[in-house]
Structure 1
């Protein structure tokens, strides 16, 4: 599979743990996903494999080799070789949510934790701008739960491994209908609508993001 599928799917923590364990290195991706040492036990990995097989998201071929469904192959490609991450935290007085953008060489995907240790995983189309996907998630939450704030924290995988603090920017919605963007350097911009605020944030994200906002074409 070439890892270019863009189907959204729900996956369990055990399934993601199995995919992570099938690569040559896990890096810090498990921690960003909220997966710990308990998710790397043989029992959990076996459960993840069994779940993928039962859901027909993987199939055994040639003895012990596995062939993944296109969407799962895309997820695995992103998990194994990330170039960078954007963490999106969403908070309001009585609600919280979030998503993680994982950017690899030829695949970007949004991963959002859900109830019962499940995750919504959405690989982005090669031509899609990852900033649009991030802002769409923030837009929905900020309109529904105002006053609310969206925090964008971007880092390269290498910097995250070294413990370098990610760059942060925020977009917030106020009860009076106004919007505010605070960039990494602390500069504040107030806007009367979401679109105006999003324009400012898009420019800041272009500077912050550790990988291009659109996937790079495959090399021939």
Structure 2
């Protein structure tokens, strides 16, 4: 994850907990990832380091220390020094899902929760407009489940820590194939199809998102 890597990989909750515990400040990332105080227990952290070593995502070095694989080291750096977050909430009548974008300036990645407390980690290349992977997450869900809603919540790490409400926009797909976008100001706009709706969401995200997204306009 040097800014160009794009290969997806997976990590367990214990592995992520170990990375968070290894830094000087866990910040708000544990709460956004759904990790709790129980995930900081010694047994969980031991399981995390053991799993990283077993999967060759870390290697022991002198002085009872470990070296992390480059991709894992990048995830650790982003978890400890996030600049901003975007939460994507996906809801339908019989299904729910979501993803979390963590932006740490040099490193950006999407985290998706999966079964058995595992997470898919998808790096985002430095030259990628972050709106593209966010909308791709919504696209896949909304075309599989209708009626359904994708909600985007964006906030800086500083504001999130202070409890400031995130900026929000939502994209919904009705059972009859119609699309609606609710902007940051609460205004609802109808769209003829997903592409038209996505264009509206892109405009909304540009006003609420990260500087890296705005710079791509």
State the TM-score bracket (shorter-chain normalisation): over 0.9
- Measured after TM superposition, the shift of residue 5 of structure 1 is 3.8
Q: Distance in 1 between matches of 2:104 and 2:2?
A: 13
Task: Check if 1:8 corresponds to 2:36.
Answer: no
Say which is worse superposed, 201-210 or 58-67, in terms of deviation: 58-67
- Mark the CA change 1:199 to 1:210 in structure 2 (over 3 Å): closer, same or farther: same
**5+ long unaligned stretches in structure 1:** none
1:153 counterpart residue number: 153
2:134 counterpart residue number: 134
2:201 counterpart residue number: 201
Say which is worse superposed, 88-97 or 182-191, in terms of deviation: 182-191
CA-to-aligned-CA distance 1:157-186 (integer Å, 9 cap, x gap): 000000001111100111111111001101
1:35 counterpart residue number: 35
Q: Alignment length, in residue pairs?
A: 216
- Measured after TM superposition, the shift of residue 4 of structure 1 is 5.8
- Mark the CA change 1:109 to 1:213 in structure 2 (over 3 Å): closer, same or farther: same
CA contact (8 A) 1:58 1:69 kept: yes
Q: Distance in 1 between matches of 2:6 and 2:100?
A: 16
Q: Distance in 1 between matches of 2:19 and 2:214?
A: 24
- Mark the CA change 1:2 to 1:22 in structure 2 (over 3 Å): closer, same or farther: farther
TM-score (norm. length: structure 1): 0.93
Q: Distance in 2 between matches of 1:46 and 1:203?
A: 45
TM-score (norm. length: structure 2): 0.95
Q: For 1:31-180, what aligned pairs fall within 5 Å after superposition?
A: 31-180=31-180
CA-to-aligned-CA distance 1:1-28 (integer Å, 9 cap, x gap): 9576432111100000001111111111
CA contact (8 A) 1:101 1:109 kept: yes
Q: Distance in 1 between matches of 2:112 and 2:176?
A: 29
